[in-house]
Amino acid sequence: MFTGIVEEIGEVLAVRESGEVVVLTVRGRTVTADAGHGDSIAVNGVCLTVIDPAGSSDGTFTVELVPETLKRSSLSAVAEGARVNLERAVPVTGRLGGHIVQGHVDGVATLLSRTPGERSDELRFSLAPDLARYVVEKGSIAVDGVSLTVAAVTPDGFTVALIPTTLSHTTLGLRQVGDTVNLEVDVVAKYVERLAAGYTGRTGLTATVGEEARAQ
């Protein structure tokens, strides 16, 4: 479980294929300070499992991307040198600084426009029809693992306003029009819809992305 408060911007050092799995080596000195084998780290909002047998000792960690993750997230296009948002799983005694983020990506969106302000930026992203019903004005959404408040919603898009800290401490400050990002909608909305399905006849999302399997 995460809160969408990015701890640092990391760098992808290596990308290699191992059968149907893609293996990433990522540098992140903050998130690896106490990282051990089997720990969860969110990379651009995708919950991934550290597979290094002895954890990390050099500020890097290794994770595996299975076909489901490659199919449903923007990590399928990640390359060496890419900058990524990193967050460790929140401890039970930690602060819920953002909102409840599972690291299970619901879909990929495209940055449609970027409007710079004096100190803040307004970003508008596309929004797939099957996700639109979960996004509400002043609600929460995770974009590349960053907990954000929705400023406005249209049938095919949504807008967020980024404060200076978000611009400087996450990769959203670097995103350009046309770039793709990972989206995770509010899990509470999905559960409410699922529970109400018997009355409304609607069903919720059938699949999301996150690394469910742990390295043995």
| Mean pLDDT (whole number) for 144-169 | 96
CA dist 114 and 124 (Å) reads 7
Q: What is the pLDDT of residue 212?
A: 45
- Rounded to two decimals, what is the model's pTM? 0.89
For 79-97, what is each residue's pLDDT tens digit? 999 999 999 999 989 889 9
What proportion of the chain, given as a percentage, has pLDDT over 90? 84
Task: Name the β-bridge partners of 97.
Answer: none
What is the SS3 string spanning 19-49?
CCEEEEEEECCCCCCCCCCCCEEEECCEEEE
What's the confidence (pLDDT) of residue 54? Answer: 81
pLDDT at 198: 76
Residue ranges in the chain assigned as alpha helix (H):
67-72, 129-132, 164-169, 187-200
Q: Where are the beta strands (DSSP E) in 21-155?
A: 21-27, 40-43, 46-49, 60-65, 83-88, 107-116, 121-126, 140-143, 146-154
Digit-coded pLDDT (tens) for 108-118: 999 999 999 99
The residues, ordered by sequence, that sit 6+ positions from 159 with a Cβ below 8 Å of its Cβ are: 122, 123, 124, 125, 150, 151, 152, 153
- For 12-29, the pLDDT digits (tens) are 999 999 999 999 999 999
User: How far apart are the C-alpha atoms of 207 and 104, rounded to whole Å?
Assistant: 9
